[in-house]
Structure formats: structure tokens, C-alpha cells
Amino acid sequence: MDTKPPSAPEDLRQALRNMLTSPIRTLVPPWSWKAAAFNAVLRALLFFASNLRSGRGEATKAMLVEAVFAVFAAGLIGAISQQLRRAEPLWATALLVWAGLPGVMLLAQLAVHHLARTPHRGGGLLGSFCLSVVASAFTWYAMRRGALLGGDDQTPVLHDVKALPGISLDFVLAIPRALRAAR
């Protein structure tokens, strides 16, 4: 089980330029179906619950709209995160993955639910954004350690299942360890 970050760092600007100039080559092969499926279920449930007060029909519509959107958005964020897993400087890449990508997704999500006339967007959007921040951070963290990868670098689900408990613990402890080391 490989839990070390990939060794060859890449320049963040060059990685972003590559994705913008060749999106099919850089983003389609590593499309993150694992992130897409997991996120679609969680986000759809958030929108269902936040729209129940408008009735089951509206809640179901909001859930389906979000599920379709989340499959696209979460898969894309997973593919971008995989492309950025070696990017440097680390602080700028972390900021982009942890806040920038979820922020862009939130704006697109707001537009989609506005067009779909989802009655109660606020709770779903807030919950979805919070989930997106944590999921983006964790996915990128795990990908830097050789898990949850797609495309040519795809890791088998069994590998991920074995690696994720240790990676999850490291992820949860990363901030306390950094704070302790900074003293």
C-alpha cells in the first residue's frame, strides 16, 4: 500500500495551463467515478431533506437535479484534484483545491438550482459547500498518497479500501500535527 506522495512535483501554473489547453486529455481519463458516485448520493440527500417542507414532489425534483449535477461536478473536481496532486507550491494548490474548486462548484450549483426552480436552496447549498470543502481536501490528500486515483493511475477499489483508514487518520491528525510542529 503506497501512502507516500508522488515524487515528481509539477508547477501549479503549468498544471492548470495543461488542463485548460487539453481538457479532454487531462481530465477525462482520470474522471473520478468514485468521488462522483459518493458525492452524488450525499448531496442529493441534502437537497431532498432541505426541500421536504415543499412536499415530496419538490424534494424529489431537487434531489434528482442535485444528483445529476453532483455526478458531473464531483467527478470533475476529483479529476482536477488528481491532476494537481503533484503541484507546487503546496500552499497555493491546497488553497485552490480546498476553497477555489468548492467555491466555483457552489456558484454553478446555485445557477443550476435557480434554473430548476428549487424552492429551498439555502440549506442544501450550505451543506453541499461544507461537504465539498471537506471532500475536496480529503480526496486531494488521499490522491497525494496514492489512493482514489483514476485513469492510467487508477487504483483498485480494494487498494483504496485498505489504504483509506490510515490515510483518513493522517488527514484528521494533519492540522494538530502541523500546529504542534509550529510551536
| Nearest alpha carbon to residue 84 among 68, 74, 95 | 95
- Enter the pTM of the model: 0.84
Model confidence pLDDT, tens digit, residues 122-140 = 999 999 999 999 999 999 9
- pLDDT top residue among 141 and 6: 141
Residue 28 scores a pLDDT above 90:
no
Residue 29 scores a pLDDT above 90:
no
pLDDT band at 7 (very low <50, low <70, confident <90, very high): low
Model confidence pLDDT, tens digit, residues 42-64 = 999 999 999 999 999 999 999 99
